[in-house]
Amino acid sequence: MTHHDTHTSSDRTAAQPVVPRRSTRRGAGLKELQLAGSGFWGRMQHANATATFQHCLDWMERLGWLANFDRVAEDATDGPRPGWQFSDSEVYKLMEALAWEHGRTGDPAPGELFEALSARVAAAQDEDGYLNTCFGHVGQAKRYSDLEEGHELYCTGHLLQAAVARLRTHGTDSFVEVARRAADHVCREFGPDARNAICGHPEIELGLAEFGRALGEPRYVAQAQLFVERRGDGLLTPIPLLSSAYFQDDVPVREADAWRGHAVRALYLAAAAVDVAVDTGDDELLDAVRRQWARSVERRTYVTGGMGSRHQDEGFGEDWELPADRAYCETCAGVASNMVSWRLFLATGDPAYADLMERTFYNVLATSPAEDGRAFFYANPLQQRVPASDVSADTANPRAEGGGRAPWFEVSCCPTNVARSLASWNGYALSVSGDAVELLQYAAGEAEVDLGNGVLGFRVETGYPVDGAVVVTVTRAPRRPVRLRLRVPGWADGATVEDGGGARPVAPGWAEVHRTFRPGDRVALALPVAPRFTWPDPRIDAVRGSVAVERGPVVLCLESVDLPDGASVEDVRVAAGALPRSSGDGAVVDAVLVRTPAAGPGGFGATYRSAPPELLPVRRVRLPLVPYHRWAQRGPSTMRVFLPFPS
């Protein structure tokens, strides 16, 4: 028997990842927008569904991460346990992906995979609701004996997120009940009168808040609030060689100015803080996260939207510390950044949050998976100095770096995070606020959006992001004036919108049409996606004297495979006065290949010189630039996003 979540008005709108308790704005239900299979995101969802899910499942079976659940169920935990202490979470993220996919498409296959996993997970739950394959059983460390590094609550958070997806796409079932018992266990163990503690890796907060929303269970939101508020009081013992900023236990959330420490942790925590702030009407907390977003986006974020400047600690750097070559920009941090921005958008309606999401979708999320959906980038640097050499299709990569996509990682958080994000992508593309439908992300497809009092249906035709023309044709409309808002990205200088009459210019923000639509009505947005130079702030030392080239929302890059033989991406200077021109889905730009003249006998005199080295021009070239999200698809290469211009 299935009964549905009571907090949304229909099956179609229920299927969304984030449903704030108090909000005048909601995201699209996954079923409200169907993507065309031929579009950018349609193709990625296809690879996700037809390759990535099974790929992840196979790796987790092969490595024994799934069998860990069986061993707990069979009381056979005495031997060595494969996988890191957080490997359960990968299973839950895959389940979340499967649930969204099943809900979005109705395809039974992901639903069946979900149920098979659900049975194995459920069998591993202890009587009192505790569920973890690494702690608390024979031969294992005690429950909650290592809150700093144990990741038990982190795993539970992902379990709850998977349950949210299941509940909102299918209704309650035995898995949802497993999650409810796990959440109850957490509330008993960590409630206001129980142990005053937090998890080293935020995530439980997100899971509790949304599961509480989905079930209408305020205890869970209250427990999330408790975890958020406890943070910053030094409850965690710093891990050797790390500081408490690593897990955001240095400063209370509402007092922090910027994100710091481990990027994924910082962002999961910030997202949960928005959930708590919105549901409890805590504007001070909401404003704190908005302030942190503004500062961190301005000073600690790459042009790709990537976050996390440091391999050390997988962390944010200081303001303006944005090295291209050692950019960590973990794929999961991109996923997490979008989780924050989405919540802030729902809370505020500011399209700047959707702008960053678009940037992150095209340049982080879309960069990670290979076209075939069976290999992934973990880190997403903006410069690769040495071609990949050690990426095997058959070996889990022990490191996050390397210049090539790897099939799996020893710490394999990214593939399943990509999977759940792609499966639920539609939910972030549209929003509804009163009588307004807001088109946030552009993709060809069909929408039927529930306005509460009527439905606005429309078809989107576009070749975006390669083509900037977005044509919206109304297929169904209420017989009253409603608003159609089209997001005009911050970079779109010179956009126009045409609505029956002639084209009129629209500034970044919203292009709004407010009237009684009829089937066949067309609204055409033209976004200027011609390639353009983008200059970094002069305080970013790492890319001084350099420009990036962007094309619409897509950051481009230079790959060594596109250079003449023997030339290196380090030898390229953008030609004086050059302007990038469109070419396919990328660009071409006039450039000069240069040579650094030798100085002295080598060593220091050659590297640190007494006179400014004059670069010697070798030849002029027309340089092809490709979308950054496509790099490393043509064999091992070196790569640069930022290209120096002559000084």
Q: In the range 492-511, which residues lie near a copy of itself by CB under 8 A?
A: 493
Q: Name the token pair of 585.
A: 């889905």
Distance of alpha carbon 304 from alpha carbon 258, whole angstroms: 19
Which of 398, 452, 500, 505 forms a contact with a copy of itself (CB under 8 A)?
398
Q: Is 570 in the site for a copy of itself (CB under 8 A)?
A: yes
**Beta pairing, strands 436-439 & 482-488:** parallel
Q: Judged by CB, which is closer to a copy of itself: 128, or 325?
A: 325
Distance of alpha carbon 361 from alpha carbon 355, whole angstroms: 10
Q: Is 575 in the site for a copy of itself (CB under 8 A)?
A: no
Q: Is 326 in the site for a copy of itself (CB under 8 A)?
A: yes
Q: What is the DSSP letter of 358?
A: H
Total of residues contacting a copy of itself (CB under 8 A): 74
Q: Name the token pair of 492.
A: 């779109």
Say what angle helices 152-169 and 174-190 make with each other, to 10 degrees. 140
Do 156 and 132 touch, CB atoms closer than 8 A?
A: yes
14's CB contacts (< 8 A; 6+ apart) are: 4, 5, 8, 29, 168, 169
Which of 30, 226, 228, 356 forms a contact with a copy of itself (CB under 8 A)?
356
Q: Is 297 in the site for a copy of itself (CB under 8 A)?
A: yes
Q: Judged by CB, which is closer to a copy of itself: 228, or 356?
A: 356
Segment interacting with a copy of itself (CB under 8 A) among 45-53, 93-101, 297-305, 618-626: 297-305
Do 190 and 226 touch, CB atoms closer than 8 A?
A: yes
495-498 sheet: strands from edge to edge: 33-35, 445-450, 455-462, 469-476, 522-526, 495-498, 503-506
Q: What is the DSSP letter of 561?
A: G
The distance of closest approach from Cβ of residue 302 to a copy of itself in the complex, given in angstroms and rounded to an integer, is 9
Q: Is 605 in the site for a copy of itself (CB under 8 A)?
A: yes
Identity of the amino acid at 227: F
Q: Judged by CB, which is closer to a copy of itself: 98, or 594?
A: 594
Residue among 647, 593, 595 nearest 622 (CA)? 593
Segment interacting with a copy of itself (CB under 8 A) among 65-73, 330-338, 412-420, 539-547: 539-547
Instruction: Provide DSSP, 423-445.
Output: HTGGGGTEEEETTEEEE-S--SE
Q: Is 234 in the site for a copy of itself (CB under 8 A)?
A: no
Q: Judged by CB, which is closer to a copy of itself: 513, or 558?
A: 558
Segment interacting with a copy of itself (CB under 8 A) among 10-18, 226-234, 366-374, 396-404: 396-404
- List binders of a copy of itself among 236-275 (CB under 8 A): 238, 240-243
Q: What is the number of other CB atoms lying within 10 angstroms of the CB of residue 612?
A: 7
Q: What is the DSSP letter of 643?
A: E
Planar angle of CA 381, 323, 634, nearest 5 degrees:
25
Q: Is 216 in the site for a copy of itself (CB under 8 A)?
A: no
CA-based torsion, 394, 398, 400, 401: positive or negative: negative
How many residues are there in the chain?
647
Residue among 545, 592, 598, 547 nearest 572 (CA)? 592
Distance of alpha carbon 405 from alpha carbon 476, whole angstroms: 43
Which of 93, 151, 532, 629 forms a contact with a copy of itself (CB under 8 A)?
532
Q: Judged by CB, which is closer to a copy of itself: 238, or 454?
A: 238
Q: Is 192 in the site for a copy of itself (CB under 8 A)?
A: no
Planar angle of CA 232, 226, 239, nearest 5 degrees:
35
Q: Judged by CB, which is closer to a copy of itself: 9, or 596?
A: 596
Q: Judged by CB, which is closer to a copy of itself: 6, or 237?
A: 237
Q: Judged by CB, which is closer to a copy of itself: 29, or 415?
A: 415
The distance of closest approach from Cβ of residue 630 to a copy of itself in the complex, given in angstroms and rounded to an integer, is 20
- Per-residue binder mask for a copy of itself (CB under 8 A), 616-645, x = binder: ----------------------------x-
Segment interacting with a copy of itself (CB under 8 A) among 97-105, 140-148, 380-388, 558-566: 380-388
Identity of the amino acid at 183: A
State whether residue 26 is helix, strand or coil: strand
Q: Is 113 in the site for a copy of itself (CB under 8 A)?
A: no
Q: Name the token pair of 223.
A: 């427990």
Which of 107, 112, 128, 537 forms a contact with a copy of itself (CB under 8 A)?
537
- List binders of a copy of itself among 299-318 (CB under 8 A): 299, 301, 303, 310-312, 317-318
Q: Is 186 in the site for a copy of itself (CB under 8 A)?
A: no
Q: Is 581 in the site for a copy of itself (CB under 8 A)?
A: no
Distance of alpha carbon 208 from alpha carbon 187, whole angstroms: 9
Q: Is 543 in the site for a copy of itself (CB under 8 A)?
A: yes
Q: Is 481 in the site for a copy of itself (CB under 8 A)?
A: no
Q: Judged by CB, which is closer to a copy of itself: 186, or 356?
A: 356
The distance of closest approach from Cβ of residue 162 to a copy of itself in the complex, given in angstroms and rounded to an integer, is 27
Q: Is 615 in the site for a copy of itself (CB under 8 A)?
A: yes
The distance of closest approach from Cβ of residue 566 to a copy of itself in the complex, given in angstroms and rounded to an integer, is 16
Say what angle helices 283-299 and 263-280 make with each other, to 10 degrees. 150
Q: Judged by CB, which is closer to a copy of itself: 165, or 258?
A: 258
Planar angle of CA 547, 330, 629, nearest 5 degrees:
50
Which of 139, 600, 617, 635 forms a contact with a copy of itself (CB under 8 A)?
600
Segment interacting with a copy of itself (CB under 8 A) among 445-453, 470-478, 487-495, 585-593: 487-495
